[in-house]
Amino acid sequence: MSDSKFEPRIVGFLCHWCTYTGADLAGTTRQQYPAGIRIIHLMCSGAIDVVYVLKSLLDGADGVLIGGCHPGDCHYQTGNLKARRRIALLRSIMDTLGLDQERVWLRWISASEGRLFAETIREYDGALQSQGQNPLADEWDL
């Protein structure tokens, strides 16, 4: 665990209209962030099924980031709020899996907030660095 070269693996479920586009902007504005993030594109953060998050964690992801539009900006009215409710519920049961709640982050990042996206990834990477590897990563061999 104390491996200084530990590079957290993050799965990012990002909504098409805001955060995914924000991630694009981070790229075009040449913001640099850790490469451990793997982005999965969803149409709306409201389409996130907690099973995807759990599956990612069981597959060995050190963290899962769900990115959506700011409240009020959701392209599908309230999908982001649905995600918020679902993720709050998920986080509340994560203890029982032996996982820290902070392994799942939900963040609102708009299409114009490329800088915020890069910052969020850096921050998350840092937080996961100090948390260490996902304890389930080695235990599951599917």
Contact positions toward other proteins, by CB under 8 A? 9, 11, 16-17, 20-21, 23-33, 35, 38-44, 46-49, 51-52, 55-56, 59-61, 70-73, 75-79, 82, 86, 110-116, 118, 142
Q: What six digits make up the tokens of 131?
A: 């948390």
Inter-axis angle of helices 114-131 and 19-28, nearest 10: 100
- The nearer residue to other proteins, 43 or 93, going by C-beta atoms, is 43
- The nearer residue to other proteins, 59 or 102, going by C-beta atoms, is 59
Distance in angstroms (rounded) separating the CA atoms of residues 95 and 20: 29
| Min separation Cβ 25 and other proteins, Å | 6
- The nearer residue to other proteins, 118 or 128, going by C-beta atoms, is 118
| Min separation Cβ 100 and other proteins, Å | 18
User: If you count DSSP H runs as helices and E runs as strands, how many of each does the chain have, helices first?
Assistant: 4, 4
| Min separation Cβ 128 and other proteins, Å | 15
- The nearer residue to other proteins, 73 or 95, going by C-beta atoms, is 73
Nearest Cα residue to 18 out of 95, 63, 86, 71: 71
The answer to whether 122 and 80 have CB atoms below 8 angstroms apart is no
| Min separation Cβ 5 and other proteins, Å | 13
- Total Cβ atoms within 10 A of residue 117: 31
| Min separation Cβ 113 and other proteins, Å | 6
Distance in angstroms (rounded) separating the CA atoms of residues 28 and 7: 24
